[in-house]
Amino acid sequence: METSRDDGFDEEFMEKVRLVASKAGLTVEEVLERVKRYVEEMKGLVKPDGALSLIAVELDVGQVSRDEQAHYPTIKISKLVPGMRKATVQGKIVRMYGVLSYVNRSGEPSERAEFKLADETGHIDVIVWSKSLVDRIRSGEIGEGDVIKVTNARVTERFGRVALHLDSGSDIEVLPSGYEDLPVEERRILKVKELYEKEGDVVDFRGTIVRIYPVSEFTRSDGSIGRRGSLLLRDEEGDIVRVVLWGDKASLTDGLIEGSTVALTDVRVVLRDDSLELHSTPRTKLDVLKEGGSGPIEGVVLFKFPLEEIGARGKKFLDLLVEIDGSLEILRVWGDWADLLSEEDPPFKLRFGPVYIDNDGLMVLSRSGTIEIVEKIASHVPPKLEKVAKKVKYRRMWIGESSDGLREFRGTVISFSDTARVTWHCPNCGARVEFEYGRFHCPNCGEIERATPLLYLTFTIDDGTGIARVVAFRDRAERILGMSTEDVIKAADELGEPSHSVPTDEVAGKMMGREVIVRGRATYLESGAVRLVLDEMEYVDPVDESRELIKEIRRVWLGGGEIEGNNG
């Protein structure tokens, strides 16, 4: 080891020490300690070389000669320790990671190859820096399943584990046979639900891209700049997982299309605050199996939901009920497309694409997608289509049986927030800001001239199977409260409320104990309750609900089928 040179031992002596250590199954430090002890006990009668020979005989590994030193024996993987040089190892390649690109210390693009080598005592990661060996691996001359002999390798510690490095002086010899009992590692594609038991493991995953996030930069603690990319993938069972790509791996998102099916190899499972993620490793690869967004889709828009805004910065989207070849789908469009189509009155024929299906089951126009209004249809849409559209978009469920997604609940209001509150947010980054001494201060952007107000209130409903905490923002809160955001701010100032909140006694008195139907996006909470961000609310119409109940009874009891998740 490099540290041993502080004791005055030259490299030739250290090579002999490593040889004795490898043959005896000891560490270099243990052999050196015995050498020092022998020299002290013999009071200078023997030098370190002589002491080493005595130790070699004592350990029954034979004396160390210069000739033997030139022909290093094969070392079992379990006996390898950091600091060894010119090690000879034999085993089977049980996993080939292949040729990997990286940026060297000079800032230039370069290549290395990596594989996992195993023998009957264990396995070890092998990193190949030699260009000639990298080329042999690239050509397939050396591949997964091969039995090989590695010579002139050096042993280091990498990521807390022992690793073998092959430089320009190293060599790989492919052997005709051996290690038949060692299988090549199984490369099984895992599903999201299987990942929770694999925390810390490196796995392979396949899924459809639900969303691609822009690559961002961040500053590390040492002042250097890092890069991070991420995307959401949905497996074949519909479960979603976030993939985080670090450093040069962030560029793997370049050119990807939402809706594409991709295969990820060698990503690490990370659990953070009960949130599951897949993080890139130096070996991570991404292959596109199927390009997303098939050809253009044509459909007739039958109903248009109101133009929506989400987040403190008011990002716009529009949902449309579209009939496509006899099937009813909800199409969601964002930004400029939302503004454009909000001006059109159904029915009209659209040609659009590419699209992908999000985790709510909605058909979403990809960021690279386009829309063309093919034909404006001279016809009137019947009013009942609004109810149909809501049934397609929001699934009616019991609260106690709900999962995450767009849901419709019917329940009784059992509590109401004491106040309706306005919070202030940065128009640049969306972060919540503080108002002090007549100025707004954003934690990210510093002092800002103006901030965006966000009104919200909460209430709780109970349907007998569970409770849902309903949160109403912006115009939904305004409709329930009967006041605009500006009115709330003005009233709070008159009341001397620095938090810009007003009491809700009057509206709470009207709503407490009443049955309501709420629609929005539901999220299951660890407490057992459900949180629903409100899209719309209406009071229960007993006649209408009775018709729905009779209809369900007929379908269940007379039709013989069970209506899953529909509580009428």
Condensed to tens digits (0 to 9), the pLDDT of residues 259-279 reads 889 999 999 999 876 678 999
Torsion of CA 257, 259, 265, 271, to 10 degrees: 110
Mean pLDDT within 56-64: 71
The band of 548, judged by pLDDT with boundaries at 50, 70 and 90, is low
**Which of 146, 175, 204 is at the close of a domain?**
175
CA-wise closest residue to 117 among 143, 140, 139, 141? 143
pLDDT for res 63: 61
Element (H, E) at 374: strand 363-376
Residue range 110-169, pLDDT digits in tens:
999 999 999 999 999 999 999 999 999 999 999 999 999 999 899 999 878 899 999 988
User: 12 and 62 in one domain?
Assistant: yes
**Distances, alpha carbon 27 to alpha carbons 82, 83, 155, in Å:** 9, 10, 12
Are 524 and 406 in the same domain? yes
Which tokens sit at 540?
Answer: 């229960």
Q: Is residue 560 part of a domain?
A: no
**Distance of alpha carbon 241 from alpha carbon 239, whole angstroms:** 7
pLDDT at 313: 63
Greatest mean pLDDT among 68-82, 277-291, 349-363: 277-291
Is the model more confident about 525 or about 66? 525
Position 471 pLDDT exceeds 90: yes
Tell whether 481 is covered by a domain.
yes
Report yes or no on 183 lying in a domain: no
Please tell me whether residues 322 and 450 are part of one structural domain.
no
Q: How far apart are CA 232 and CA 276, in angstroms?
A: 11
Contact 264, 243 (CB under 8 A): yes
Between β-strands 109-119 and 87-103, what pairing exists: parallel, antiparallel or unpaired?
antiparallel
Q: Where residue 149 sits, what CATH number does that domain have?
A: 2.40.50.140
Number of domains in the chain: 5
Higher pLDDT, 398 or 71: 398
- Tokens representing residue 116 in the block: 């996992």
Across the range 310-322, mean pLDDT stands at: 82
* pLDDT of 199: 87
Instruction: Indicate if the pLDDT at residue 383 is higher than 90.
Output: no
Banded model confidence at residue 5, pLDDT cuts 50, 70, 90: very low
Say whether both 98 and 161 belong to one domain. yes
In a domain, 558, yes or no: no
Clarify whether residues 271 and 165 are in a common domain.
no
Q: At what angle do helices 48-58 and 28-41 cross, to 10 degrees?
A: 110
Give the burial class of 506: count Cβ atoms within 10 A of its Cβ; 0-12 exposed, 13-18 middle, 19 or more buried: exposed
Looking at the structure, tell me whether residues 533 and 448 fall in a common domain: yes
The mean pLDDT value for 335-359 works out to 88
Whether the predicted pLDDT of 244 surpasses 60? yes
Q: Which residues contact 243 (CB under 8 A, 6 or more apart)?
A: 205, 230, 231, 232, 233, 264, 267, 277, 278, 279, 280
Contact at 8 Å (CB) between 162 and 82? yes
The arithmetic mean of pLDDT across residues 370-385, rounded, is 87
Range of the domain at 254: 189-290
Question: 252 and 147, same structural domain?
Answer: no
* Mean pLDDT computed over 49-67: 72
Residues 21 and 85 in one domain: no
557 assigned to some structural domain: no
- Whether a cis peptide bond, with omega within 30° of 0, leads into 48 is no
The residue among 329, 356, 391 that closes a domain is: 391
Same domain, 94 and 22: no
Residues 211 and 242 in one domain: yes
What dihedral angle (degrees, nearest 10) is formed by the CA atoms of 201, 206, 209, 212? Answer: 30
Indicate whether 282 and 306 sit together in one domain: no
Q: For residue 550, what pLDDT band results from cuts at 50, 70 and 90? A: low
* Chosen domain end from 290, 313, 347: 290
- pLDDT tens across 205-215, in order? 999 888 888 88
> Quick check: is 559 in a domain?
no
Give 24-46 pLDDT, tens digit per residue.
767 788 888 888 888 888 777 77
- For residues 278 and 423, membership in a common domain is answered with no
- Whether 560 shows a pLDDT value over 50: the answer reads no
CA 178 to chain centre: 40
Spatial separation of the C-alpha atoms in residues 62 and 500, rounded to whole Å: 86
% of the chain beyond a pLDDT of 70: 89
For the cut 70, the answer to whether the pLDDT of residue 556 exceeds it is no
Tens digits of per-residue pLDDT, 424-456? 888 887 888 887 777 888 888 888 888 889 999
Q: Is residue 564 part of a domain?
A: no
Strands annotated E in 146-274: 147-158, 161-166, 171-175, 189-190, 202-219, 225-234, 240-246, 261-272
- Chain mean pLDDT for the chain: 85
Residue 114 counted as domain residue: yes
Cβ partners under 8 Å of residue 486, min gap 6: none
Would you say residue 348 has pLDDT above 60? yes
User: How far apart are alpha carbons 359 and 231 in whole angstroms?
Assistant: 13
In order of 11, 76, 222, the CA distances from 69 in angstroms are 12, 18, 44
